[in-house]
Amino acid sequence: MRRSLSRVVNHFYKTRLGGTKDTAALSGLAASAIVAAPIAPAALAIGGMATVATASAGYLTNRFTKAASTLPVLKSNIEMVSDMSPYQPLQRGDGFLLGYATDSGEAIHLEEAYAKRHFLHPGMTGSGKSVLGQSIMYQQINKGGGLLFVDGKLDADNISMLWKFARAAGRGQDFKIINPGDPSNSNTYNPILDGDPDEVAARILSLIPSSENNPGADYYRQAANQGIVTLVSAIQQADLAYNMIDLSILLINATALEELQRRVAHSPRGANSKQLENLALLLNQYKAPDPRTGKIGINISKLRETFGGVGGRLHMFGTGKFGEVMNTYSPEVRLFDAIRENKIVYLSLPTMGKTDAAANMGRMVLGDLRTAISWLQALPTSYRPKPAFLVFMDELGSYATQSLSRPFEQARSANCILYGSIQSYANLEAVSKEFKQIVLDNTWTKIYSKLGGADTATAAAENIGVEKKVTRSLSGSESDSESASYLRATPESSKGSSYGLSIGEREVEDFRISPEDLKSLDIGEVVATYGGSTIFNVRIPMMQITKALEAEYGPPMLIREEPDKSVQGCDFSKNPERFLIDAAKRPPANGGVLNEAE
């Protein structure tokens, strides 16, 4: 009996009876019960009470069964009621479909204007982040928008998937691939060619670790930055193009530096220029007398001490498979042009096989993206990409740098959408705590797939926020008593039993979604917050292409372009032996000084 009564009370709690209608219905039932009682006065036995009882019982039955009618329409591992979709598309392809609310099956759409305030998607590996990413990218391609997909996993299926999406939308001609792992199936790309000298130097220096807490290392880093800015300024003033191997040779080779100085001095714009003067001042810092002859020359050891680390890293990108893709003066992919022309660009980062190289390449590409965004901001609004350009960054933690914080703050005005996919907040904090906070503060839509670690789940629950909830307590008591007099003239005694039930409620603040719920999400199920206040529990639709269409589309097909033969490059890579002769054939025995005459 006690257990049954507890169930009834718990059901009342879930149903949350209260208000005018509920009170009237309960009063109607109570009045009907009184009329039906044997001891009720006959005057109360009014025929209309039967109608009142029927109406009251029907209303309350509907209230009690309402909870059953709101069971999830779609499979969900958590009990959650989603808010209404914040946006209803005006036309097909307008905005983004996130998925379908598990409780109601309602389509949840996000408006493009707010999508430009960026996405952050934490979730453990295998939780379904890629499924949502594919859905978002397909929608972007299908409505004619541009896309940069930075693939941090190097999954060959992703190239094929993106190609099929492009073909399905009739946009195969817009598809570009940057894949240093397979140069024969890659377009060419030079991430350091475009931009002013300071922007290029920032990209190159992203290859070496930060030195803020090491004064000695920071000195060499600043010296390297000054040197790169000076070299790039001089090259650009001479109207020359350059690539990875050109800069690599210049940063560690005296002969190449002297040739560059001569070429700048004999160029139409370089003669008597400020850039030529700065180049001469830079070289003078590394000149010293030869102990044998007394002649002045460049001290190679000192030069390499300053630039050797950067030059070595650039050499890695200027040789091998990376060099086949990046050693170009007329690249087939220029990021700013790709954004303006709504191209679909797939960038592969071999983060497993070549971890350091992949991370460094990703950093340079994001630096190139930062430059492109700054150029877009300088354009009139009508010249910015429409639809907004989407940058989907998978496994962002593998290549993110502090400089990426500015695009999260400013890319909206350039009509660009940033979508960062990570496994945990630790990926962001590995860059810096400031970077993590900037990304969290500048992502309007946060999407949480299944989270693995307790710390990440708790931090995510804290970011989602708290709300006031009612905590309930239910307790029951039962007692039996029996008494009789030992000395009595009559057989009088007493016997009794009692049962009590107490109910309590208390309002407290609690997580809107608990860490345990975030850890128990199913594959393909997410919790999403929109603007920090609206929240959804969503099932993600999976994009699939039929076997017949796969056969029709075939393997990815590159659109190749002829190099612009009018572009004049430094061409140090055409005959590198002549720049390496001082190191390979004439190892200096004079402290590393190479005479100008030599």
In sequence order, the 6+-apart residues with CB closer than 8 A to the CB of 3 are none
pLDDT for the residue numbered 221: 82
CATH number of the domain enclosing 554: 3.40.50.300
Instruction: Report d(CA 212, CA 591) in Å as an integer.
Output: 31
Instruction: Report d(CA 397, CA 426) in Å as an integer.
Output: 8
Q: Percent of the chain, pLDDT > 90? A: 50
Q: What confidence tier does 590 reach under pLDDT thresholds 50, 70, 90?
A: very low
Q: Is residue 460 part of a domain?
A: no
What is the domain extent for residue 304? 190-327+568-598
Can you read off the two tokens belonging to residue 212? 């803020």
Amino acid at the residue 35 = V
Amino acid at the residue 416 = C
47 and 117 together in one domain: no
Residue 426 has pLDDT above 70, yes or no: yes
Q: Is residue 481 part of a domain?
A: no
Number of domains in the chain: 3
389 and 370 together in one domain: yes
164 and 292 together in one domain: no
Residue 594 has pLDDT above 90, yes or no: no
208 and 279 together in one domain: yes
pLDDT for the residue numbered 36: 56
Lowest mean pLDDT among 40-44, 331-335, 397-401, 466-470: 40-44
Look at residues 394, 323, 338 and name the one whose alpha carbon lies nearest to residue 159: 394
Can you read off the two tokens belonging to residue 264? 């700048």
302 and 355 together in one domain: no
348 forms beta bridges with 151
318 and 368 together in one domain: no
Residue 278 has pLDDT above 90, yes or no: yes
Instruction: Report d(CA 270, CA 276) in Å as an integer.
Output: 6
Can you read off the two tokens belonging to residue 83? 């808010």
Pick from 54, 69, 84: which residue ends a domain?
69
239 and 349 together in one domain: no
Q: Is residue 494 part of a domain?
A: no
Q: Is residue 82 part of a domain?
A: yes
236 and 277 together in one domain: yes
194 and 280 together in one domain: yes
pLDDT tens across 393-408, in order? 999 988 998 889 999 9
Provide the 3-class DSSP secondary structure of residue 128.
coil
Lowest mean pLDDT among 27-41, 102-116, 452-466: 27-41
Pick from 69, 98, 122: which residue ends a domain?
69
364 and 414 together in one domain: yes
Q: Is residue 201 part of a domain?
A: yes
85 and 141 together in one domain: yes
Pick from 22, 54, 69: which residue ends a domain?
69
Residue 161 has pLDDT above 70, yes or no: yes
Query: Mean pLDDT for the chain?
Result: 82
156 and 216 together in one domain: no
Segment 235-253 shows an average pLDDT of 93
Instruction: Report d(CA 509, CA 431) in Å as an integer.
Output: 33
Instruction: Report d(CA 152, CA 155) in Å as an integer.
Output: 8
Q: What confidence tier does 563 reach under pLDDT thresholds 50, 70, 90?
A: confident
Residue 92 has pLDDT above 70, yes or no: no
Look at residues 563, 446, 445 and name the one whose alpha carbon lies nearest to residue 116: 445
Look at residues 134, 74, 40 and name the one whose alpha carbon lies nearest to residue 538: 74
pLDDT for the residue numbered 304: 83
Look at residues 144, 86, 151 and name the one whose alpha carbon lies nearest to residue 117: 86
CA 217 to chain centre: 31
Q: How many helices (H) does the chain have, and how many strands (E)?
A: 22, 16
DSSP state letters, 197-238: HHHHHHHHHTTS---TT-HHHHHHHHHHHHHHHHHHHHHHHT
Interhelix angle 244-252/300-318, rounded to 10 degrees, is: 160
Provide the 3-class DSSP secondary structure of residue 150.
strand
Q: Is residue 461 part of a domain?
A: no
Residue 589 has pLDDT above 60, yes or no: no
pLDDT tens across 349-366, in order? 875 556 778 888 899 999
Instruction: Report d(CA 310, CA 202) in Å as an integer.
Output: 12
Q: What confidence tier does 97 reach under pLDDT thresholds 50, 70, 90?
A: very high
Look at residues 237, 223, 220 and name the one whose alpha carbon lies nearest to residue 274: 237
CA 597 to chain centre: 55
Q: Is residue 396 part of a domain?
A: yes
Segment 262-283 shows an average pLDDT of 94
pLDDT for the residue numbered 74: 86
pLDDT tens across 179-231, in order? 988 899 999 999 999 999 999 999 998 887 665 555 556 777 888 899 999 99
Residue 595, φ and ψ in degrees, nearest 5: -70, 145
Residue 506 has pLDDT above 50, yes or no: yes
Instruction: Report d(CA 72, CA 79) in Å as an integer.
Output: 8
Instruction: Report d(CA 132, CA 539) in Å as an integer.
Output: 10
Q: Is residue 337 part of a domain?
A: no
